[in-house]
Structure 1
């Protein structure tokens, strides 16, 4: 792991960016103490629709049926957050 000062990082940002793109992690320091790390960006996740379709096909699933209550988006009562929950009875 490479360490560089903030001043050096400012002056060599393009070079450091290329090294990080190649997979290197670089620690930036101030007065010899680490303050941040330059790391490669992670690929954003998401739903793998192709994999999902393949899974359905492999398991013989024709369609996924989900249920959402009709009042799902209705506003909550005003006292919802201040109303205490009923006591819970624990049975050992």
Structure 2
């Protein structure tokens, strides 16, 4: 893995693009601190497939603790806009 400053990346972008196409990952720094990584496109897609939420596992867990309906009730007006006077009321003191 290469580490380069932003200025170096700007000066050597064509060479950098070739290295990334060959599978190399480049960490770009600003003032010596990592800012972002440039990764090959194929690695990006592979990492996206690994992450995320496993919905089936979540449902299985809920069933195991006795929850039969994960979302028991959502009001019909759940996503309706709030009334204007609600938005203008001051917050209550604690």
TM range (shorter): 0.5 to 0.7
Secondary structure of 1:73's counterpart equals coil
Preserved contact between residue 2 and residue 24 of structure 2 (Cα < 8 Å): no
Unaligned runs of 5+ in 1: none
After superposition, where does 1:14-33 map in structure 2 within 5 Å? 14-17=18-21, 18-20=23-25, 25-27=26-28, 33=31
Secondary structure of 2:3's counterpart equals strand
1:77 aligns to 2:76 (yes or no) = no
After superposition, where does 1:1-92 map in structure 2 within 5 Å? 2-4=2-4, 5-6=8-9, 7-17=11-21, 18-20=23-25, 25-27=26-28, 33=31, 36-40=35-39, 41=44, 42-43=47-48, 45-56=51-62, 59=64, 61=66, 63-64=68-69, 65-88=71-94
Aligned length: 80
**TM-score normalised per structure 2:** 0.54
**TM-score normalised per structure 1:** 0.55
Unaligned runs of 5+ in 2: none
- Larger radius of gyration between Structure 1 and Structure 2: 1
Secondary structure of 2:36's counterpart equals strand
